Homo-oligomer: A and B are copies of this chain.
Amino acid sequence: MLTVKELGINAKKASRVLSVAKAEKNEALKNISAALIENAEYIIKQNNIDIENGRINGLSDAMIDRLRLDLDRIKGIACGVDEIIAMPDPVGKVISGNKLSNGLDISKVTVPLGVIGIIFESRPNVTADAAALCLKAGNCVILRGGKEAINSNKAIVKVMRDAIAKAGLPSDCINLVEDTTRASSIELMGLTEYLDVLIPRGGAGLIRAVVENAKVPVIETGVGNCHAFVDESADIDMASSIVFNAKTSRVSVCNALETLLVHEKIADKALPAIYDRLKEKNVEIRGCEKTVAILGDNAKLSTDEDYATEFLDYILAVKVVSSLDDAIDHIAKYSSGHSEVIITENYKNAESFLNRVDSSAVYVNASTRFTDGGQFGLGAEIGISTQKLHARGPMGLENLVSTKYIIRGDGQVR
């Protein structure tokens, strides 16, 4: 078992080859896609060990389901790789360029980031998705998955490493930290000499731990305390439909709605109508006093903490507010900066909300569930950035690169 530092050294070395590769990258990805299917039986066998261990260790059915790989899921992963193959290479693009008056020819071009560390939890499909995206953008990757999926991850990484070697690229382009103790995770977060970026993928606890401990530059992803504000002028049918969709179409995802804010002048009509839809899915309402006054027994009284919580469940925090400003203040205080929507027919309020709400995606009259690389037309994503440096919102291939300046001269001095 290689140490984290050894993996770093190997990845950095491989990066010098991968960063200048072109056609070999898609060839390697084609090999990976084919090899995942060819070796599906082996992968499933190793996955079964994880499932068995998970049962013994008392994982919930939902966790076991996330962990499970079957032929269909492996085909899905291979399909994801095929989609990445079809996308344009993000490396080597000239962003801008100029001939200066002294004759220097200067261009700014995209280059790979280098070596990317990814710390994630139990879903083994992340292993292949993330590695394939990184590879396409010319980046080596060091994966550190959860211990629940270690046998699955080892199998997938072995298959991928063999596949890329066949395309003439170093198998060290893809590396797995096999030590799943906390120590290996901490070591990875401090590997500044070899890692260019660290991307945590998982729940709020994991993200916080990485931000607190990492010395390597981090891209925060995926915590979504999303808000909808139903303005005084909202179309109530539209509001009900958007809130219902954003809250219930998939509760476990980061772009799901967590808090509903309703203008006091429409609350009497809007709240019962919205609740009528939500009750189809037994959504629990935790509301302010005014909400409870309107919805009666159908709402519990909320606490301050409810407004700060990403429930990822059939629970919705609700607050009646007295103005657009109130709504924006509430969002500024509690939001994680992921996605927010105003439902309104008022042009000025719509524009004001779009301008003043400081989140990665701000909507008028549409479900927050659209915040997604695929939905935005960006293709596969490595995560949804909720920070402001480098990338914000869905992070696709085009965000997995850096730039450099290339300057061609004929002897210029300053």
Contacts and interface: CB of A to CB of B under 8 A. Distances in A.
A165 interface: no
A367 B413 contact: yes
Contacts of A215: 211-212
Interface string A339-365: 000000000001000111011111111
B212 A389 contact: no
Interface string A90-120: 0000000010100010101001011000000
B196 A388 contact: yes
A186 interface: no
Contacts of A364: 407-409
A411 B246 CA distance: 12
Nearest to A369: B414
B404 A362 contact: yes
A389 B197 contact: yes
A412 B246 CA distance: 10
Contacts of A322: none
Contacts of A393: 108, 403-405
Nearest to A114: B388
Interface in A360-414: 360-367, 369-371, 375-377, 387-390, 392-393, 402-414
A364 to B, nearest CB: 5
A219 interface: yes
A361 B411 contact: no
- Quick one: copies of this chain in the complex? 2
A358 B411 contact: no
Nearest to A403: B392
A370 B407 contact: yes
A151 to B, nearest CB: 33
Residue of A218, A360, A402 contacting most chain B CB atoms (<10 Å): A402
A366 B402 contact: no
A196 B386 CA distance: 11
B362 A412 contact: no
Nearest to A353: B406
Contacts of A363: 407-409
Nearest to A106: B376
A104 B332 CA distance: 25
A20 B356 contact: yes
Contact of A98 (B20, B360, B377, B407): B377
Interface in A38-72: none
Contacts of A405: 360-362, 371, 376, 392-393
Contact of A366 (B98, B370, B403, B409): B409
Nearest to A362: B406
Contacts of A246: 413
Interface stretch (A76-84, A237-245, A288-296): A237-245
Contact of A367 (B114, B392, B412): B412
Contacts of A389: 113, 196-197, 217, 219, 389-390, 402
Contact of A16 (B245, B356, B404): B356
Given A390-B389, A405-B360, A413 B365 contact: no
Given A113-B389, A364-B409, 4 more contacts: A16-B332, A16-B356, A100-B376, A235-B411
Q: Which 4 A-B pairs have the closest CB atoms?
A: A366-B409, A245-B413, A388-B402, A390-B390
Interface of A: 16, 19-20, 98, 100, 104, 106, 108, 111, 113-114, 192, 196-197, 211-212, 215, 217-219, 235, 238, 241-242, 244-246, 249, 332, 350, 354-356, 358-367, 369-371, 375-377, 387-390, 392-393, 402-414
